[in-house]
Structure 1
């Protein structure tokens, strides 16, 4: 009976044993699957999830006190992308804060500079 695969798909070593074997050992199987997965283009879901996580990390870093004002260029220089957010909250003045999980931001123009007002989610915002 002929083998389906003559050599290990990862290291190229000659295979022995079962005729449907593709890898010489579990380590080669894992290494090959990892390599194949890394060569695939990043899926849309992963791109969104990665950007949301990065945005949250940046907002958390620049908003340690619960409220802060930061230049837009500084956040965007760190990789922040305001198009990625999880939800929003509208205050009584009509300002719409965009949130990345528990960290929110509002775009403002102050003295000709684009800035973000950063806040943290509060219980009263649930209404």
Structure 2
């Protein structure tokens, strides 16, 4: 019984459990298989990376305060973050990896923090 490459259809020679004729075909097959989710994940990761760079730029020390206007002017997107932390007092910090922010005073100002 002949087996054929799942990507290009070329006849396979070698191991019985072989599915692809080359590394190129194997990579190409899996890239096509995961293309839709990769675009979504790539776009979200780009937004997270941009948010992280903005927080890192505006918070060179461990803690600082900034305005919402300044964050928006840099292109910060408040819809994307990696985790939250709620204090015992009920305040919620939003984190992008180890860089975080806390809304203050009717969300016009933000406390920027760095978690070690």
SS in 1 for 2:42: helix
Number of positions where the alignment pairs a residue of Structure 1 with one of Structure 2:
79
Distance 2:78 2:102 in 1: 10
* CA RMSD, Structure 1 to Structure 2 (Å): 1.7
Return the offset for 1:79: 0.8
**TM-score of the two chains, using structure 2 as the length reference:** 0.63
Please say if 1:79 is aligned against 2:75.
yes
5+ residue gaps, structure 1, are 1-41, 123-127
**TM-score of the two chains, using structure 1 as the length reference:** 0.58
Runs of 4+ in 1 over 6 A off after TM superposition: none
Q: 2:48 aligns with which of 38, 47, 52?
A: 52
Return the offset for 1:65: 1.3
Distance 1:121 1:92 in 2: 17
* Larger-Rg structure: 1
SS in 1 for 2:105: strand
Return the offset for 1:71: 0.4
Listed as ranges, the matches of 1:5-84 within 5 Å are 43-84=39-80
